[in-house]
Chain A
Amino acid sequence: MALKQSMGKRVGMSAAAWLIGFLIFFPILWTFLTSFKSELDAFAIPPKFLFFHWTAENYAEVQSRSNYLLFAYNSIVLSVGANIVGLIIAVPAAWSMAFVPTKRTKDVLMWMLSTKMMPGVGVLVPIYLLFRDFHLLDNRLGIGFVLLMMNLPILIWMLYTYFKEIPVDILEAARMDGASLMNEIVYVLTPMAIPGIASTMLLAVILSWNEAFWTLNLTTSNAAPLTAFIASYSAPEGLFWAKLSAASTLAIAPILILGWFSQKQLVRGLTFGAVK
């Protein structure tokens, strides 16, 4: 059904949409612009929008002061690694809940979601002490485990809703056709669920990439991802706006590019099951 709207209303709506879009995007744009300013221009009042002396020296400085590649490497290993392990656990879990539900399945799902409701700071001290005693501080395995546990409920929930959308008839048809459980998974369910698995993975990687609370508290250098890299530029002795911006731009660029190219999948992932 097409809603008929007057020209004026449509122009107004478009303008409002662009304005809101610009407001949301502005911090990222400002960070990007600031990263090319000198430290002096960075906090000039009135702010300089486009007419300042463009310089790439912040990037050079950031590069020479800290090892961007190590942080980036950690970010990739942690966010991708933790979620691959997560998927290996979440796929069978979501599967059994979607296709062989019991009376308690809904309760289990709610319980898993409830673990996301507690603020992380509530368990920071015990986890920190455990990590210290087990020598897991600043350890990729340790922080990876935390990221995995953090995302697991989301992974299972999202996959569960995806699997719920797959008609059980098709799996039963495969069973009638003589497929073993393994063949059913490999030849029928997985190919049908690939879009769901991909967008779930994508969202989980973005969440892990941006996770700052645990990564800042449990890592320092060896296992520290890009969040720690950014934080290292807001030092107690003073903020270096331009360098902080350069570091931030470097840190968010990979995930921003990934998100841009996969936005279609992402939107589907976020709104899946909302209609129909």
Chain B
Amino acid sequence: MGSIELKSVRKSFGAVDVINGVNLTIPDGAFTVFVGPSGCGKSTLLRLIAGLEDTSSGQILIDGKDATNIGPAQRGLAMVFQSYALYPHMSVRGNIAFALKMAKQPVDVIDQKVKRAAGILNLTDYLDRKPRQLSGGQRQRVAIGRAIVREPKAFLFDEPLSNLDAALRVQMRLEIGDLHHSLKTTMIYVTHDQVEAMTMADQIVVLDRGAVAQVGSPLELYNKPNGLFVARFIGSPTMNIVTGPSADKRGAATIGIRPEHLQLSKTSGEWSARVRIAEHLGSDTFVYVEGEGVGPMTVRAEGEAELKPGERVFLTPIEDRLHKFDKDGKRIGA
């Protein structure tokens, strides 16, 4: 069990409103990702759920019970910090066992649980080492192990992979995914990396300036962003945004088209453009062009497109993959 519900949650630091009335339901067992640019309040929201910050107003329900005013220790949640926050003076064993020791569990139970967690996380050989003798990935695993042994109602991850190098990040991402699969415990994961959000989440919560911009599955957000903010934020490379005659013609103030939904031609098309640079990834080519009258755009071409800087190309959007927005940046139509 571990459903979490936020009702009109607000948080201000002095005169600054960091969270402006968030209503949110996190279903039991779901992998929910909070994503947004830095300063959008996603970490603060997580800390409010954890109990490390007090709400200014509103309610936080955990499993239907009001947890707004109870301390972090009593909420039954476990948190994995960006900095790992391992106890530097304790061995890996001591770190993982700490919460159980605080809960005054019998020694043999602690020992058994620590061994099991270490087994799951491939830490068995490192139990007697100190955190400083571990690599970044191993430290992160210890932090996760510390969370697992408590059998929490939910795991809270605060940008847990941002201190790891790219390769390790992909690996740990998979490991956290596997972990969610086998434990089936509610997980809330904060990140500013939309790729992490897209690949891991059952449900993504996009935050913008302390408010929820949109909640939905990764593909819902990709296919039907409810506004320009989400449209720009989800998807990589970023969606191309076009205003002016091309948008007017389609009855919108702004239209958006993803780089993978632009057709590239050397002979004809809706927009004429000059190639600025082509990035060859092997499987794809990202072509950055300067469109005439529509400004800079990004095109994703399959395979190895033979393009040189300065070359003239033509672009045509796939009509049914176009996103239309009104003058307030809201989505038009379904």
Contact = CB atoms under 8 A, between A and B. Distances in A.
Contacts of B86: 170, 173
A175 B89 contact: no
A174 B89 contact: no
Interface string B72-94: 11000111011101111100000
B50 A178 contact: no
A152 B146 CA distance: 39
Contacts, number: 57
B102 A183 contact: yes
Contacts of B77: 176
A192 interface: yes
A76 interface: no
Given A170-B86, A170-B87, A188-B87, A177 B99 contact: yes
Contacts of B245: none
Interface string A164-178: 000101101111111
Contacts of A183: 102
A187 interface: yes
A177 B89 CA distance: 16
A70 interface: no
Contacts of A92: none
Q: Which of A174, A191, A192 has the most CB of B within 10 A?
A: A174
Contacts of A178: 73, 99, 102-103, 150
B146 A177 contact: yes
A180 B74 CA distance: 11
A187 B98 CA distance: 9
A173 B81 contact: yes
Given A178-B103, A179-B73, A187-B98, A192 B89 contact: yes
Interface residues of A, number: 17
B221 to A, nearest CB: 30
A172 B98 contact: no
Nearest to A188: B87
Contact of B71 (A167, A175, A188): A175
Contacts of A175: 52, 71-73
B87 A174 contact: yes
Contact of A167 (B79, B83, B89, B98): B83
Contact of B73 (A170, A176, A192): A176
A261 to B, nearest CB: 23
Given A176-B79, A177-B99, A167 B85 contact: yes
A179 B98 CA distance: 9
A187 B52 CA distance: 19
Interface in A215-268: none
A81 B99 CA distance: 36
A176 B98 CA distance: 11
A178 B73 CA distance: 4
Interface string A189-231: 0011000000000000000000000000000000000000000
A188 B87 CA distance: 7
A170 B143 CA distance: 11
Contact of B85 (A173, A179, A187, A191): A173
A176 B78 contact: yes
Category for how many chain B residues contact A: 20 to 34
Contacts of B146: 173, 177
A175 B75 CA distance: 11
Interface string A15-45: 0000000000000000000000000000000
Contacts of B71: 175
Contacts of A179: 73, 98, 102
Given A175-B72, A176-B50, A170 B89 contact: no
Contacts of B87: 170, 173-174, 188, 192
Nearest to B83: A169
A184 to B, nearest CB: 10
Nearest to A172: B52
A174 B101 CA distance: 11
B89 A191 contact: yes
Contacts of B98: 174, 177, 179, 187
Interface in B258-276: none
B279 to A, nearest CB: 35
A130 to B, nearest CB: 44
Contacts of A180: 73, 102
B48 to A, nearest CB: 13
A189 to B, nearest CB: 10
B99 A170 contact: no
A117 to B, nearest CB: 32
Q: Which of A172, A176, A179 has the most CB of B within 10 A?
A: A176
Contacts of A192: 87-89
B81 A172 contact: yes
A104 to B, nearest CB: 14
A4 to B, nearest CB: 32
Nearest to A103: B14
A170 B99 CA distance: 13
Interface of A: 167, 169-170, 172-180, 183, 187-188, 191-192
14 contacts: A167-B85, A172-B52, A173-B79, A173-B87, A174-B87, A174-B98, A175-B72, A176-B77, A177-B73, A177-B99, A178-B103, A183-B102, A188-B87, A192-B89
Given A176-B79, A179-B102, 7 more contacts: A169-B82, A173-B146, A175-B52, A175-B71, A176-B77, A177-B102, A183-B102
Question: Which 3 A-B residue pairs are closest in the complex by CB-CB distance?
Answer: A169-B85, A177-B99, A173-B85
